[in-house]
Amino acid sequence: MLERLNTESLPRLPADVEKPAYDRSRLTPGIVHLGLGAFHRAHQAVVTDMAMQASGDLSWGILGVSLRSAATRDALTPQHGLYAVALRDVGPDGQPREQLRVAGSVLRVMVAEEDPNAVLERIAYPQTRIVSLTITEKGYCREPATGYLRWDDPDIEHDLGNPERPRSAIGILVYGLALRRERGLPPVTLLSCDNLRGNGDILRTLVLAFALRVDVALTQWIDANCTFPNSMLDRIVPRTEDGDRERIARRLGVEDAWPVVGEPYLNWVIEDKFAAGRPAWETQGGATFVRSAAPYERLKLRMADGPHSALAYLGAAMGKATVAEALEEPALRRFVEDMMRLEIAPTLKGIPGAGLEEYRLRFLARAANPALRLSTRQVAMDGSQKLPQRLLDTIRDRMRSGDDITRLCLAVAAWLHYLRGEDELGARYSIQDPMAAALAKLTMRAEVAARAAAPSQAAQRRATVLAGFKPVFGELGESAEFVAHLTAHLEALRLHGAAQAAQALALAQAA
């Protein structure tokens, strides 16, 4: 049995494995991070690790918090917070290659559900200066179409009545900040690292809305003192599989219970608005600080995340296991390329065409990376939370300008088609979405409406019911143009499948 990766085994790792070159015994906590998942550990935690190594400022150790699951805590605690990051791509010879680095920035992992008060105390710790989050879109307990806090969310309802034992990230933040204020401690920066347009602005709005129900004076203190920078983060990070663990253990010569896998590409753009200092994240090309992150967020959400979702839903419908496999399908590749070039790029005003073309080609190369097994179903998760900013905002912009939305609507129809829970090969799958129950009822209601209609009206009735789902589509579902596109695309997907639907669209547009 292999020795476990930990502080004692660190010096014995192979020479070709990068490792912390600083004295971890001198590391002190400066960041509390909510949502210590694979993405954070492959992105922000790695950049923090490199920043401390380059600057020598070891006051930015990370106290990671898993909101509910104990899996990450149980894996990393025996390893003293250490874990391997495996960056994978294809070399000039066409063979997969892998670069390993052991990250040392995580000091400790806690589980909020087990001891929420301990997490509040850590937020109120005098040395804490940043509280950051990667809790995914659904973790913000907001309605996707409006962005408002969902007061009927069970966790939000619970937290309003249980200030000592909050369950939601918003509740944890507000009650942790309340402790800081009560103790006369300085304010902190609250840094959302999630895939939301204006993520810092969204977090600020939700925190202040919740705080207003708790204490008006607390709301005023947060508003006047804490900062909420917007940020854009980009790196493809698939789920870690058992094969990854076995391969990485052979390379390390020790066991790592939970390494993370990612692509070499990394991008991080942050507004430089920090209430109590920050790590030197810009060192070694890790981050770029700007006055406004909005153009970068818009670019990434529309030209990377939107196409990623389109590939995931169309690919999953065909039974493709990974995004790279979906992109190998000629009809899907042409569809995504055309959607990016003809319908998405024109909405990104202010960015030179050459820059958009370079971005498009780089995204396609990243998505096609055969060394990463990014599951179509992983990308397909939580579609109700992702689509409004990845696709629907772009559709609204195009409609306001009177421009074509045909391809974008096929991507939306692919999500609605995916909700059936069965691919074209007959394989069943579960819908992973915070609105899964409501979406299941919606899908059933749409089918009932279609069966009750005359045959010539069935497809239109189905699309009308689906588009009328207000929490996702809002007023867009009332547009006759939008519903007409969904009607045609949903019928093509239902009768002919994803590849033929994409191919027929390309032929029709070329005619």
Nearest-angstrom CA–CA distance, 232 and 217:
31
What's CA 478's distance to the chain center, in Å?
Answer: 29
Predicted local distance difference test score (pLDDT) of residue 354: 73
> Would you identify the CATH topology of the domain 7-291?
Rossmann fold (3.40.50)
What DSSP string runs through 386-414? HHIIIIIHHHHHHHHTT---HHHHHHHHH
Q: Supply 388's token pair.
A: 């409004």
Nearest-angstrom CA–CA distance, 443 and 148:
25
Residue 351 confidence (pLDDT) above 90: no
Band (pLDDT 50/70/90 cuts) for residue 294 is: very high
The position carrying tokens 């949903």 is 490
Nearest-angstrom CA–CA distance, 198 and 287:
17
Are 131 and 275 in contact by the 8 Å Cβ rule? The answer is: no
Are 412 and 387 in contact by the 8 Å Cβ rule? The answer is: yes
Query: What are the residue ranges of CATH 1.10.1040.10 in the chain?
Result: 294-508
Please give the sequence-ordered ranges of beta strands (E in DSSP) within 169-305, or none if there are none: 189-192, 231-234, 260-262, 267-271, 288-290
What DSSP string runs through 330-350? HHHHHHHHHIIIIIIGGG-TT
Sheet of 288-290, strands arranged across: 231-234, 267-271, 288-290
Predicted local distance difference test score (pLDDT) of residue 333: 97
Residue 88 confidence (pLDDT) above 90: yes
Residue 511 confidence (pLDDT) above 70: no
Question: In this structure, how many other beta carbons lie within 10 angstroms of the beta carbon of residue 246?
Answer: 10
Nearest-angstrom CA–CA distance, 183 and 161:
22
Nearest-angstrom CA–CA distance, 211 and 469:
30
Question: In this structure, how many other beta carbons lie within 10 angstroms of the beta carbon of residue 511?
Answer: 5
Least confident segment among 308-317, 322-331, 353-362, 364-373: 353-362
Q: What is the pTM of this model?
A: 0.95
Predicted local distance difference test score (pLDDT) of residue 286: 86
The position carrying tokens 């896998």 is 261
Predicted local distance difference test score (pLDDT) of residue 305: 98
Classify 294-508 by CATH class.
mainly alpha
What is the average pLDDT score of the chain?
Answer: 96
Are 169 and 192 in contact by the 8 Å Cβ rule? The answer is: no
Query: What are the residue ranges of CATH 3.40.50.720 in the chain?
Result: 7-291
Average the pLDDT over 104-131 and give the result. 97
Share of the chain above pLDDT 90, in %: 95
Question: In this structure, how many other beta carbons lie within 10 angstroms of the beta carbon of residue 206?
Answer: 25
Average the pLDDT over 453-471 and give the result. 97
- Rg over alpha carbons for the chain, rounded to the nearest Å, is 23
- State how beta strands 260-262 and 83-90 pair: parallel
Nearest-angstrom CA–CA distance, 283 and 237:
22
pLDDT digits (tens, 9 = 90+) for 244-276: 999 999 999 999 999 999 999 999 999 999 999
Residue 509 confidence (pLDDT) above 90: no
pLDDT digits (tens, 9 = 90+) for 467-508: 999 999 999 999 999 999 999 999 999 999 999 999 998 887
Distances 179 to 87, 319, 409 between C-alpha atoms, Å: 40, 50, 47
Write out the H or E segment, with its range, that includes residue 503. Answer: helix 498-510
Least confident segment among 33-37, 207-211, 347-351: 347-351
- State how beta strands 288-290 and 267-271 pair: parallel
Average the pLDDT over 122-141 and give the result. 97
Residue 1 confidence (pLDDT) above 90: no
- State how beta strands 96-103 and 267-271 pair: unpaired
Band (pLDDT 50/70/90 cuts) for residue 34 is: very high
State the first-to-last Cα distance of the chain, in angstroms, to the nearest integer: 64
Tell me which of 511 and 3 has the higher pLDDT: 3
Please give the sequence-ordered ranges of beta strands (E in DSSP) within 193-326, or none if there are none: 231-234, 260-262, 267-271, 288-290
Predicted local distance difference test score (pLDDT) of residue 284: 80
Question: In this structure, how many other beta carbons lie within 10 angstroms of the beta carbon of residue 353?
Answer: 11
- Tell me the H-state helices in 435-497: 436-452, 458-467, 470-473, 480-496
Predicted local distance difference test score (pLDDT) of residue 40: 98
